[in-house]
Amino acid sequence: AKFQKMKEAYECLRDPHKRETYDAIGAKGLKWIDEPMSMDPQELAQNFVNASILDRAKIFAIFVAMVVVLLYIPVIVCLHIDGVFGKDASWIMTLIPLWLGNVLTLFYYSR
């Protein structure tokens, strides 16, 4: 058991990213990152309750952004099919916002 703990500590100290993560959020946080399914739901809920309003707002904003990203394409396609954009609306014009988002994402990750 001691050897295993020493091995884990050495691995943490050897990797600069893991060391930085450990310094920021501790051993439990590092374990949660390595094994996300090891999180206790009650402890996760307690951490959320004890978090600052700014942190909770960030989590909520991320959740809303994920829902918008997931539902954007089906909603736009349904609106186009229903004729909400007009009878003369082309698929190219309908999907331009999606393509612009893809281009922005490509530029962001190509840096």
5-44 pLDDT, tens digit each: 888 888 888 888 888 888 888 887 778 787 878 778 888 8
The pair of structure tokens assigned to 51 is 């978090």
Amino acid at 22: Y
Q: How many domains does the chain have?
A: 2
Positive or negative, the CA dihedral 84, 90, 92, 82 is positive
Contact present, 26 and 34 (Cβ < 8 Å): no
Examine the domain organization and report whether 30 and 1 are in the same domain.
yes
Q: State which residues form the domain around 74.
A: 55-111
pLDDT at residue 54, as a whole number: 94
Which of 9, 35, 3 is closest to 22 using CA atoms?
9
Residue 32, Cβ neighbours under 10 Å: how many?
Answer: 18
Examine the domain organization and report whether 68 and 92 are in the same domain.
yes
Amino acid at 74: P
Examine the domain organization and report whether 45 and 8 are in the same domain.
yes
Examine the domain organization and report whether 44 and 63 are in the same domain.
no
Examine the domain organization and report whether 61 and 74 are in the same domain.
yes
Which one of 10, 27, 50 terminates a domain?
50
Examine the domain organization and report whether 40 and 83 are in the same domain.
no
80-108 pLDDT, tens digit each: 999 999 988 899 999 998 899 899 999 99
Examine the domain organization and report whether 70 and 104 are in the same domain.
yes
Confidence band for 62, pLDDT divided at 50, 70 and 90: very high
Examine the domain organization and report whether 38 and 70 are in the same domain.
no
Examine the domain organization and report whether 106 and 72 are in the same domain.
yes
Q: How long is the chain?
A: 111
